[in-house]
Amino acid sequence: MKPYLIKTPKLIKFIFYNWFWSFSSKEKNIYLTFDDGPTPEITEWTLTQLKKYNAKATFFCIGKNIEAHPDIFQKIIKEGHSIGNHTNNHLNGLKTPNKVYLDNIEIASNKIGNARSNLFRPPYGKISIRQSFALRKKGYKVIMWDVLSADFDTSISNKNCLYNVIMNTRSGSIIVFHDSVKASEKLKFVLPKILGYYASKGYTFKKITI
């Protein structure tokens, strides 16, 4: 059994109700999200694919990558996508002291700068209740997901990655992809197909704004 779930169970969503797992299913909207960028090898390609379908998405950026690739980061903003905070150093909240974790998030926030975002996604989906409470008290919204593409998993095929998304996505789903080198092969296979498939069915790809 793989150490992750493709579809987030309703029970988990119920228990952790203060976190955002999906949005209203009344309209045919899908929320694509991309973690770990900006990355020169894949982020600009991702932006090009999104533009073909007038799709908007949310990029959960790592602070150190923003600092290393400011031009790509500004391009994400210029093209109308939302920005989210993904810590400065991709920290696992459950393995990091609270103060270190929260300080690291603020470092990333400062690098986000004028595009300051209240959206936060914990790397690996790992965050303690105390960390979450502290962030929400500061005004952050903790954004999790409804569907995990598993594009980061080198043990599965490109087709299985596509299957993960197609078989589990519904109206209102938040889907996780990664604009990282590790995920780039699967993303290049899956993303154009996802955009084409759901666009043909009348879905709109929306960025997260809450």
Catalytic status, residue 178? yes
The number of C-alpha atoms within 13 Å of 22 and in the hemisphere containing its C-beta is 24
Q: CB–CB of 142/20 below 8 Å? A: yes
From the candidates 35, 36, 153, 179, give the one annotated as an active-site residue.
35
From the candidates 81, 86, 90, 178, give the one annotated as an active-site residue.
178
Catalytic status, residue 69? no
Whole-number Å distance between alpha carbons of 59 and 73? 9
Whole-number Å distance between alpha carbons of 110 and 17? 28
Closest-CA residue to 31 (of 108, 84, 85, 88): 84
Q: Which residues are catalytic, by number?
A: 35, 178
